[in-house]
Chain A
Amino acid sequence: NAGVTQTPKFQVLKTGQSMTLQCAQDMNHNSMYWYRQDPGMGLRLIYYSASEGTTDKGEVPNGYNVSRLNKREFSLRLESAAPSQTSVYFCASSSEGQGNTEAFFGQGTRLTVV
């Protein structure tokens, strides 16, 4: 049972380069999320998708775009990477998008922008 799978695990980009972080879940969950983790700041929501076909901004969406490709896949794109986007990125999913359901997380992507 794979759960939530993210690729790649590590990436180094030069300022101005673009890349897409991939995320897939095999739990038939409706809701999916992208968070970034920075030291001393916990995790902050970048974008989320409450259901297939919908996406919405979270707390820190600037510089990012997302695509909910189908129910399983939710990708995060950096169009022009900046050093401020150096972070660890986590994808997560949950079953019904209600406040009391557990979120399942991928193992993360460590991104460095130089």
Chain B
Amino acid sequence: GNSVTQMEGPVTLSEEAFLTINCTYTATGYPSLFWYVQYPGEGLQLLLKATKADDKGSNKGFEATYRKETTSFHLEKGSVQVSDSAVYFCALSDLTSYGKLTFGQGTILTVHP
């Protein structure tokens, strides 16, 4: 079956630091890959996605590249802000799954001024 593994957290950074959150996956076929973000007290919202190998998803300064050879989709941001403090989830879905998402464990990010 499908599975997603994220780096263990929590992650604590100072403002303007570089962020990487690792994500690797196991799936049959060719899944689509997503990063969702959950701000305190809210539901999840899509941050970025990539639907095929070598695609790069980007949004709000965050980027992730779909690497089929390493089955990875690592999230990066060059300079984090306090407002980026949230929980980040890597997820995948495939064309046979009716949009069902398989999630990683989630990574708590805290950014200090």
B is a partner of A: yes
Q: In the bound complex, do residue B100 and residue A33 qualify as a contact, i.e. CB atoms below 8 Å apart?
A: yes
Given the interface pairs A4-B43, A99-B94, the reply to whether A40 lies near B105 with Cβ below 8 Å is yes
B contacts with A: majority SS: loop
Top 8 nearest A-B pairs (CB, nearest first) are A105-B43, A42-B103, A97-B98, A100-B32, A50-B98, A99-B93, A94-B99, A97-B99
Instruction: List the interface of chain A (C-beta within 8 A of B).
Output: 4, 31, 33, 35, 40-45, 48, 50, 58, 90, 92, 94, 96-108
Q: In the bound complex, do residue A31 and residue B101 qualify as a contact, i.e. CB atoms below 8 Å apart?
A: no
Which residue, A4, A101, A103, A104, has most C-beta atoms of chain B within 10 A?
Answer: A103
Q: In the bound complex, do residue A102 and residue B49 qualify as a contact, i.e. CB atoms below 8 Å apart?
A: yes
Complex contacts, A99 vs chain B, CB 8 Å = 31-32, 51, 93-97, 99
